[in-house]
Amino acid sequence: MELGIGPQDRLVDIGCGDGTLLKYARLAGVTNAVGLSGTEEEAARLRALGFNVLQSWTDALPLPDRSASAVVCHSVLHIVPPEKIPASLREIGRIAETQARIWIGELPRFREPASIRTFETVPEMLLWSLRKRGLRTFLGMCRRLLSGAQQGPVLRTAQAFWAEPEQFVRLAAEAKLKVERHFPNQILDSQQHLSASTTRHDYLLRRE
């Protein structure tokens, strides 16, 4: 992973989903990791597995100032209302210590064509979610299908915010976050090879 997470890190995963990153961090020897989830149901499920997970929104993170050396916010900001993006970035900056590494992933460069997609079969839906939304969404959808929370082959996604890289770099700078690198998000094509997304961008930042 670009952040190079190790045992010394104090990790915060904003929008921790099914806990994939928290599990990876545990295997990497990280003992100080906090997950943040948008729903109490998902947070409680991960707490039952022994992870430290809290329910919160991106513009009001329930964590102390400068408490993280690594922050991940992957495939989250695109569903945040645009008016809450500046506050969300300020909150990320607030919890990050000076020179903390920050990953913001899968941020759309422009409005994507559809927010609701329908599929003929479950396998078709799962393959699309893996290729277009990544492993975390794919695993989350598998869990929803197994639990009965997802009743049919319909994948609902919401998109509220998008920004061209130059615009997002400016927004980050206003929150005292310096973008070190940005590049197209990597997705799996139909042959299971990585290719560059034409719509979504990843950002590696530092807290100034």
The predicted-structure confidence for 102-118, as pLDDT tens digits, reads as follows 999 999 998 876 544 56
3.90.1170.50, 3.90.550.10, 3.40.50.150, 3.90.180.10: CATH of 10-109+162-207 = 3.40.50.150
What letter represents residue 35's amino acid?
A: G
Q: Where are the domains of the chain?
A: 10-109+162-207, 116-157
Please say whether the beta carbons of 95 and 12 come within 8 A: yes
* pLDDT, tens only, 39-73: 888 899 999 999 999 999 999 999 999 999 999 99
Residues of the chain whose pLDDT is less than 70?
1, 113-120, 132-134, 136, 144-159, 189-190
Look at residue 83 in the predicted model and tell me its pLDDT: 93
- Packing angle between helix 20-27 and helix 122-147, nearest 10 degrees? 80
Between the alpha carbon of residue 49 and those of residues 42, 53, 65, the distances in Å are 11, 10, 27
CA-based nearest residue to 194, from 105, 130, 136, 138: 130
pLDDT of residue 181: 96
The reported pLDDT for the residue numbered 150 is 47
What's the pLDDT at 171? Answer: 97
CA distances from 142 to 79, 83, 118, 127, 146 (A): 21, 32, 16, 11, 6
Kindly give the pairing relationship between strand 53-55 and strand 68-74.
unpaired
